[in-house]
Chains A and B, each alone.
Chain A
Amino acid sequence: MSWEEILQRPSSSWLDGRGPEQEVVISSRVRLARNLAQHLFPNRAGERELETIMNEVGTAVDGFPDRNHYYFLPLTKLGPIDRQLLVERHLTSPDHIKEPRQRGIIIRDDEGVSIMVNEEDHLRIQALFSGFQLEEAWKLAGEIDDRLERTLTYAYDETYGYLTACPTNVGTGLRASVMVHLPGLVMLNRIGKVFAHLSQLGLVTRGLYGEGTEALGNMFQISNQITLGRSEEELLAHLQAITRQVIEQERGARRELYREMGDHLVDRVFRAYGLLTHARLISSKEAINLISDLRLGLDLNLLPQLNYQVLNELLLLCQPAYIQKIAGEQQSARERDAKRAALIRDRLKKYT
């Protein structure tokens, strides 16, 4: 399979909808920030130094025993749409693709592993799993880290741990996050309270695509803020325990909603289904919000013909760059809305 096919397929391993607690937790992610010793960080490095880092990382990846499952993509090789696709597929960050020169990304063919090269740090190692699987994600990211270290020498300090461009990442360089779907807490207007509580517990809440992005479709990312002074296991255990509480609260909220205003909820789910199966023009935002309602309907056993994988795939399919890739870049916004509506209808038709 070519990398282009990978970026265009409607699915990826972490969207398979099979992970634990899938009703609330869409995916789990661990990201490790690493820098190479004796090289300036990307924000200060010149082009030649950045190139050296690309080469050194390339050599390290060449030593992977399963090298044939990895693709090293210099961002200059990708057009703007493909680069945006990487962000939509959660393989990299919006910041990383701003300046493609001497920047690259390494992806494993199932998209469970990605390594950003010359993002804010020389390396950002990411492992992504479906559902609530933080420990598995940490284990995998740690393994990739160990493998890279066979050839690379990391910037490390006995006191400060792994050194990073931003002091907020120093120490473990670990950012663990869960992507959660919280329609119940949003509908009951409790989400603000929950986030305030999470912030007191040292966790950060963000929108779908990380820092500074909008929370669409009641989906949020919760991650650790602190990276220094605790072990990776402690940081993970903390996020895990709190996420469990959030899951319980969301489940409670859904039960409460169903009990108090079940007819309204059922109506909302089927309206969403009606719109998605019949609309001829649909914006990305509207589609994502409706998919959120279907997701809730799935949990309430209202849509037995659907499954989480389809809905996860629909989410991917709704994104702007994906549509542009499929429909062609020259299309107007309205033509894209038409294409999106058609893709969704077609996808859902298989499950009637």
Chain B
Amino acid sequence: MLCEECQMRPATVHIRRTINNETTERHLCQECARETGELNIIGGSEFSLPNLFATLLDSDAFVKHLGLKPDPGTLKCPACGLTYGEFKAGGRLGCDRCYGTYREQLTPLLSRLHGQVQHAGKIPWRAGHDLRARQELRELKQALNRAVEREAFEEAAMLRDRIRALEKKLGPGGE
């Protein structure tokens, strides 16, 4: 078989792609495969993260694997009107409230994408001091667990005191 791109060299690269149940095949030589970027699976134009997870959300097996409810049916974001179907098709949320509306569906997806679902970075100043204190508390508790695991009890005791002080400051409901 000759390369379908240059029609000169023998086709040695065979690529079969299945996207949304549509399968396409290409038969190329090494040179053309490199030139058309077919070999570069990472930088290829059809392969982008949003496309990937739109595909993932469409796959029943994946949805089942994550323990997602197959489709939240009539659920619709009260603020922007985005339906779950629209999110699946476009891979974009419509507004900040969508994150509340689709929390149940998003959590497993985010866990799959990022490995974790708890923000650990910067906190906007406007969100107030409590948020920062609560984040610090979470971090201290993690550090405490690690210290205990390492049997670094002196450090653990110090961390425990800081956690108590912070909890007292935050008052009831401060996690």
B97: shortest Cβ distance to chain A, in Å? 8
Q: Is the CB of B43 within 8 A of A215?
A: yes
Chain A residues positioned under 8 Å from B15 (CB to CB): none
Q: Is the CB of A160 within 8 A of B79?
A: no
B24: shortest Cβ distance to chain A, in Å? 17
Chain A residues positioned under 8 Å from B164 (CB to CB): none
Given contacts A155-B96, A166-B91, contact A40 B127 (CB under 8 A): no
Given contacts A159-B118, A229-B118, contact A212 B131 (CB under 8 A): no
Q: Which listed residue (B40, B109, B114, B134) contacts A158, Cβ 8 A?
A: B134
Nearest neighbor of A206 in chain B, beta-carbon distance: B43
B-facing residues in A172-226 (Cβ within 8 Å): 172, 174, 192, 195-196, 198-199, 204-207, 211-215, 220, 225-226
**B61 CB–A CB distance under 8 Å:** no
Chain B residues positioned under 8 Å from A196 (CB to CB): 42
Chain A residues positioned under 8 Å from B53 (CB to CB): 167-168
Q: Is the CB of B43 within 8 A of A160?
A: no
The docked-state distance in angstroms from the alpha carbon of A221 to that of B118 is: 27
**A58 CB–B CB distance under 8 Å:** no
Q: Is the CB of B49 within 8 A of A168?
A: yes
Q: Is the CB of B94 within 8 A of A170?
A: no
Q: Is the CB of A154 within 8 A of B124?
A: yes
1/0 per residue, CB under 8 A from A, across B41-58: the answer is: 011110011100100000
Q: Is the CB of A170 within 8 A of B45?
A: no
1/0 per residue, CB under 8 A from A, across B114-137: the answer is: 111111111111110001001000
**B37 CB–A CB distance under 8 Å:** yes
The docked-state distance in angstroms from the alpha carbon of A162 to that of B131 is: 13
Q: Is the CB of A229 within 8 A of B114?
A: yes
Q: Interface on chain A toward B: helix, strand, loop, or mixed SS?
A: loop
Q: Is the CB of B95 within 8 A of A160?
A: no
Query: Interface residues of B, CB < 8 Å — how many?
Result: 44
Given contacts A154-B126, A205-B43, A227-B114, contact A171 B119 (CB under 8 A): yes
**A51 CB–B CB distance under 8 Å:** no
Q: Is the CB of B95 within 8 A of A39?
A: yes
Q: Is the CB of A160 within 8 A of B48?
A: no
Q: Is the CB of A168 within 8 A of B96?
A: no
Q: Which listed residue (B42, B92, B94, B110) contacts A160, Cβ 8 A?
A: B110
The docked-state distance in angstroms from the alpha carbon of A274 to that of B150 is: 63
Given contacts A165-B93, A171-B114, A172-B121, contact A44 B82 (CB under 8 A): yes
**B113 CB–A CB distance under 8 Å:** yes
Given contacts A40-B80, A146-B125, contact A166 B117 (CB under 8 A): no
**A91 CB–B CB distance under 8 Å:** no
Q: Is the CB of A214 within 8 A of B37?
A: yes
The docked-state distance in angstroms from the alpha carbon of A280 to that of B100 is: 60
**B39 CB–A CB distance under 8 Å:** yes
Given contacts A171-B121, A195-B42, A232-B121, contact A163 B92 (CB under 8 A): no
- 21 A-B residue pairs with Cβ-Cβ distance under 8 Å, sorted by A, are A38-B96, A40-B79, A40-B95, A154-B124, A155-B95, A156-B127, A157-B119, A162-B124, A166-B50, A166-B91, A167-B110, A168-B50, A172-B122, A192-B39, A211-B48, A212-B43, A212-B45, A214-B37, A215-B43, A226-B115, A229-B116
B: residues with CB less than 8 A from A are 37, 39-40, 42-45, 48-50, 53, 79-82, 90-96, 99-100, 106, 109-110, 113-127, 131, 134
